[in-house]
Amino acid sequence: MLNGEYGEAVRKAMEILVRIGEALGAPRLIPVTSVHVSGISVNNIGVEGVELIEWFARNGARVLVKRATINPMGFDLDGIMPRDSREWALQLRLLNAFRNMGFSTMVTCTPYDAGNRPGRGEHIAWSESSAVLYANSVLGARTNREGGIVALAAGITGRIYLWGMHLDEERMPTHLIRIVVKDDVRNDLYSGVVGAIIGSVVDGIPLIDEGYRVDEAGVRNLLAAAGAWGSLPLIYLPGVTPDYRDARSRCDTCERLEIDDREIKDFIERVGGYADENVDAIFVGCPHVNTSVLDYIMNKLEKCGGTKIPFYVAVGGHVPREYVDKGLRLNIRVVRGTCMVVTELSRLGLESIATNSMKAAFYLPRRHGVQVKLGELDKLVSIACGAHGG
Ligand code: F3S
């Protein structure tokens, strides 16, 4: 591949991996079974980024792995959000280039809900931080937090450098975290705050001690928040991470840390405080929600006659279009294939947003200058209903 026998695009992809692998001191390359490429919003990568991906597709790059997916883009698939026609055309060129290389164009940050779900011990190359944390911490697969172009190169060559999270010794826990909270501080919002605090203060591999359990939505929020507020690739979660018991038994000398209710509630105040009806919009789906959460939201809002406050729910492109249409009947904007963070938010004219996502709470003020308020999913739904008089 490096000699150019398989074409210029494959040669370039392999050169990227070899150069980075050598710089990191990796001894060799290993095969990967799955890739996930982030950074595909035209709002982020511009014309130059699109032309680079097109160059790979034009010069014969094709995916060599079983499963290859891409992250959300700058626009939703159905035109629910306003579109700039020139940028939309650019986004479609990019989707087309990925499709020609053999990628699934289901555009989602939860590829594990859309057929790209690697198993325990599989070596993969993913580049969306929340998905990387999910792959390592929930599925037991092995990936570093790769850059988008590295994940692309891994897909084209079917290889990644043997380094970091691919090695047993790098996956050993370094910090033992005790979460001491009352039962009412365990919902989807608070688990995200726990993730944000861990991401902010831990530089290593955290292991959360027995006694702290959250449901699937809480796990997703916790991991996504940790990825946004820090640079962690893996968190050991009791009852969730496949190798938890073994890792816990090796954590007696870990650095110890405790997080309590007070710290969690103070963090919320510092970020923007609790949500009320005085916001311009509600946003759920960072990371993208699956159809069971979407059903839950729609059933609740159906009962109270729909939402009065604009209510955006971000989902992957694999979610059936019928959800978009049903959402419109309830005044819910189900946006497939994008989210409020990667879209050009100024087109919506929003100044304040309520969310249950601590990842969104990190990016929305920094990228879009939007004020954020926080609430768990049930609270956000009741605000939406209450605003309708329901
Ligand atoms: Fe996904 Fe957008 Fe959040 S890509 S993780 S919904 S910032």
67 CA to centre of ligand 1 in angstroms: 20
Summarize the confidence of residues 198-216 as an average pLDDT.
Answer: 96
1 CA to centre of ligand 1 in angstroms: 34
Residue 194 Cα distances to 187, 218, 237, 359, 373, angstroms: 11, 10, 12, 12, 17
359 in ligand 1 pocket by Cβ < 6 Å? yes
| pLDDT digits 0-9 by tens, 217-228 | 999 999 999 999
Q: Residue 210: pLDDT above 80? A: yes
Q: What pLDDT does 185 receive?
A: 84
Q: What pLDDT does 43 receive?
A: 86
| pLDDT digits 0-9 by tens, 92-140 | 999 999 999 999 999 999 999 999 999 999 999 999 999 999 999 999 9
With tokens 């928040």, the residue in question is 225
Q: What pLDDT does 183 receive?
A: 81
- Are 251 and 153 in contact by the 8 Å Cβ rule? The answer is no
289 in ligand 1 pocket by Cβ < 6 Å? no
Q: Residue 239: pLDDT above 70? A: yes
Q: What pLDDT does 387 receive?
A: 55
Q: How would residue 39 be classed by pLDDT, with cut points 50, 70 and 90?
A: very high
| pLDDT digits 0-9 by tens, 7-36 | 999 999 999 999 999 999 999 999 999 999
110 CA to centre of ligand 1 in angstroms: 9
**Closest ligand 1 atom, residue 131 Cα:** 5
288 in ligand 1 pocket by Cβ < 6 Å? yes
287 in ligand 1 pocket by Cβ < 6 Å? yes
Q: What pLDDT does 40 receive?
A: 93
- Structure tokens belonging to residue 138: 């929930």
| pLDDT digits 0-9 by tens, 319-378 | 999 999 999 999 999 999 999 999 999 989 999 999 999 999 999 999 999 999 999 999
Question: 191: closest CA among 169, 216, 166, 211?
Answer: 216
* CA–CA separation, 351 and 370 (whole Å): 5
109 CA to centre of ligand 1 in angstroms: 6
356 in ligand 1 pocket by Cβ < 6 Å? no
Q: Which of 107, 109, 283 to mutate to test the pocket of ligand 1 (most atoms within 8 A of CB)?
A: 109
70 in ligand 1 pocket by Cβ < 6 Å? no
CB atoms within 10 A of CB 96: 15
358 CA to centre of ligand 1 in angstroms: 11
41 in ligand 1 pocket by Cβ < 6 Å? no
72 in ligand 1 pocket by Cβ < 6 Å? yes
39 in ligand 1 pocket by Cβ < 6 Å? no
Amino acid at 125: A
286 in ligand 1 pocket by Cβ < 6 Å? yes
Residue nearest to atom 3 of ligand 1 (CA): 286
CB atoms within 10 A of CB 279: 24
339 CA to centre of ligand 1 in angstroms: 6
In the chain, pLDDT over 90 holds for what percent of residues? 96
**Closest ligand 1 atom, residue 285 Cα:** 6
Residue nearest to atom 2 of ligand 1 (CA): 339
339 in ligand 1 pocket by Cβ < 6 Å? yes
73 in ligand 1 pocket by Cβ < 6 Å? no
| pLDDT digits 0-9 by tens, 271-296 | 999 999 999 999 999 999 999 999 99
Q: What pLDDT does 388 receive?
A: 42
Summarize the confidence of residues 46-58 as an average pLDDT.
Answer: 97
2 CA to centre of ligand 1 in angstroms: 34
Note the helical H segments in the chain: 8-24, 42-58, 85-101, 129-134, 148-157, 188-201, 216-229, 244-249, 261-271, 291-303, 322-329, 358-368, 377-387
**Closest ligand 1 atom, residue 288 Cα:** 6
Mean per-residue pLDDT of the chain:
96
Q: What pLDDT does 104 receive?
A: 97
